A and B are shown apart, each in its own frame.
Chain A
Amino acid sequence: MTALVLPAGRTLLRQPIWMFAAAAALIFVGIAPHFVSIGNAQNVLLQSSTIGFLSLGLTIVMINGNIDLSVGWVAALAASLAVGLQSFGVLPAVIAGIAAGVLIGLLNGLIVWKSGIDSFIVTLGTMAAVRGVVFLYTREQSFAAMNLGYSAFGSSFIGPLPTLGLLFLVSASMLEFVLLKTVHGRDAYAVGGGRQASMDAGLKVGWHMTINFVLSGFFAAIGGIALSTQLGASTPDMGSDLVLWTITAIVVGGTDWRGGQGSLVGTVGGVFAIAILRNGLALMHVPSFYVLVILGAVLIAALVWERKLGTI
């Protein structure tokens, strides 16, 4: 599917992360029981959707030269609203969740634009604030989804693909199109690669940054809601690890956090690579504690590797 959107010449194989993902998959084929099965593959795709959605928006923000630390807790907020407000109907609740994500993204963008504060500090602030809001709203309770259809959605399929996985891939393709083909997308790269040069050339830098933060908030919300449909619930500490995994997927996928460079193809590769890694390790009954260590090691290894390649 992504092949339809990519310009001629850029193939999946050019991104080293896909080779890493393929290699990891091959290794697990050998050592992990039940790894090779349709069910498991579907599982991997499903599990990658949450981090997947978050990393789509965050990748664009990073290409733009910024960072958004609030994605994890925005996801949690959206999930809590989408589940907690279901007494008003599922659709209004979901819309409320998405709206929350969009609004916070807008806030992030406007503050970064108008204040000139680095996005690290701004999103550190909004992350803390959103976390507070989540806890205030949920009062540290987990919410269970009232609507059974909601949780069923999380495990539903369209054809052979899990719905959420399909949505993820479709979103990724659309965003890749935006990045590669539209003016906004190309300007995002320009701003990320040279903010001052872009300003001098007359680009509406602040406007572009705000749109990208809104995208990030939007997809963070979608990701959170997606996770809650799988769990059939929202938990108060949902947001804590998400941003770490998201950044890992993006960095491992080859996007340069300093801006100007990167692609969603790489990020999707990173998301799959990590999902495969987690899935394989889980099938091998490796305790989740070790997974954390491996995650950290993988991230560091990716950095060293990219440094050696000269992309850093």
Chain B
Amino acid sequence: MTTTDSATPPPAVPGALPGSAGAASPNLALAAPVRRRRRSAPETPERGALSSADWRRPAVKHTWRGMHFVLLLLLLLWCLGPLLLLGKFAFTPTQDILTKPMAVFPNGPTLDNIDQAWNRYHIGQYFMNTVWFALGAWFCQILVATTGGFVLSVLRPRWAKVLNWLVLGTLFVPAVVLLIPLYKIIVHPPIGDSLINNFFAVWLPAGASAFNVVLVARFFDSLPREIFEAARVDGAGPFRLFWHIVLPMSKPIIGVVSVFAVIASWKDFLWPFLVLKDESVKPLSVYLQSMANVDKGTLMAALAISTLIPIVMFLIFQRMFLRGAGLGGAVKG
């Protein structure tokens, strides 16, 4: 329930309705044809406002090269700078952090901060809670999105239209409305006892993402229908069709949804803060907030450790992240 970042799908996304897009819509088709498009790339090279002829003109070339260089410096300073600083703080004694924050190890680096964060404040334990949180939320989102998408796009029973509108409709409801009624349901679930401090309190609501369902259903729409027909002629029932044909063909979109799901639970704060209060279940983000007033060196080490996994994941799966982020804008349109 983070509210200010536009990269992860915000809960309230207006107009994820077909045909309202305009400029961004070609990306909708991105799902399946990505590979095909890349292969055919040499024939129709992508171009921007600058043509090859423009690039050969020295004035244009030098201006744009210069601007690109300045942009790179600004990106390094603005985007990477704070993170490098965090990395440095993690290995700097607290006294140096507080008195000379910009000096590079005036009294040498130290491993004390990491040791404190890991062994005294048990960052590892909360780290595992976050992993557990992310895994369950991922599973729930994939289950709902793939089976739901399968019903809406492939099986298409008569009531699919109604279901589709009910799911799409939730895109127009901002997260703020759900906060308190959801909390009420978690405290007094329809069956069983309170789910406070139970991972199901974060797993199940995560599954109710219309954004995922729309993404997956649109991808299924783009799959060739002849294959389904052929499978059916060969005697495959809906379950085999789903498991052996649709799912294996949907790896790209499942990847995108998975990345979104894991990162979203890694970033989530307000909801787990409300429902995962006990130390044994607190995820990292909630725990870090309660660490705000400990020794600065230890805090910086804890922050650095918590950032490491998402950044490493991003660097490994960067293409999927960036594709997903761009796709986010397209579907939002």
Partners in one complex: no
